[in-house]
Amino acid sequence: MFIPHLFLSVCLLFLPIQAEAHKIHVFAWVSGDTITVESNFSGNKPLLHGKITVKDNKSGAVLLQGDGDTKGIFTFTVPSDARARKTDLLIVVSGSEGHQSEWLVPATEYLSEDSSPATNQHTKTINNDELQIMIREIVKQELAPIKRRLAENRQNKPDFRDIMAGIGFLLGLAGLVTWMRNRKPKDTKTDD
């Protein structure tokens, strides 16, 4: 009597907190010549030891494979072969239960990262070129967390608006069917 009510209300209480998707979220960001791939389930639960495959986006050829760690993170250096051919990298992450997600790293993203020529360490005065390189290095470090956030935001997670839209769609569908059913008899009556 009382218990079902209580149980249902407790369930409802948890609804907004746990309104999370069931899907692997993947995002990858470039820093220097390494690419970091982070994969997690919704609610920031990391995907344990997910299988990560890096493919050539055009030909689909597998460039490298590896397993994520317990935090769902996998880091790799861009293969020199891919760099030479300027291939876009498609990162595919798969879990054990039929879940799979992808993330595309366009060649422009990692090529723009590594334009750092060798520095001359013996000069004491800093010339313009060296200053540029230093600034680039520092900016790169500072930007890494921001890039991660941007990559994270590119994932579309279910929104409250999506949920309401779905419910509205279903109710609208029912309304449409009811309207069609109710319209028919009237039409036949006027025809007759």
Partner 1 sequence: MHISEGILTAPVLAGGAVLTTIGTSIGLKKLDYDRIMTVSLLSATFFVASLIHVPIGPGSVHLLLGGLLGLILGWGAFPAIVVALCLQTIFFQYGGLVVLGVNGFIIAGPAVLCGLLLKSLLNGTRRKQMIGGFLAGFCSMFLSAILMACALFFSDAGFLRVAGIVLASHLPVMLIEGLITMFVVTFLIRVQPEILSLNT
173 binds partner 1 (CB under 8 A): yes
Who contacts 41 (Cβ-Cβ below 8 Å, separation ≥6)?
22, 23, 24, 25, 47
| Pattern 46-75, partner 1, x by CB under 8 A | --x---------------------------
Task: Tell me the closest approach of the beta carbon of residue 145 to partner 1, in angstroms.
Answer: 25
The vertex-144 CA angle with 44 and 60, nearest 5°, equals 75
From residue 54, alpha-carbon distances to 19, 83, 120 in Å are: 31, 13, 35
Amino acid at 103: W
User: Reduced to 3 states, what is the DSSP secondary structure of residue 88?
Assistant: coil
Cβ closest to partner 1, residue 118 vs residue 180: 180
Task: Tell me the closest approach of the beta carbon of residue 7 to partner 1, in angstroms.
Answer: 5
Binding region for partner 1 (CB under 8 A) out of 5-13, 55-63, 110-118, 142-150: 5-13
| Pattern 96-135, partner 1, x by CB under 8 A | xxxxxx----------------------------------
Helix ranges, 154-191 (H): 160-191
23 binds partner 1 (CB under 8 A): yes
User: Reduced to 3 states, what is the DSSP secondary structure of residue 36?
Assistant: strand
Cβ closest to partner 1, residue 108 vs residue 153: 153
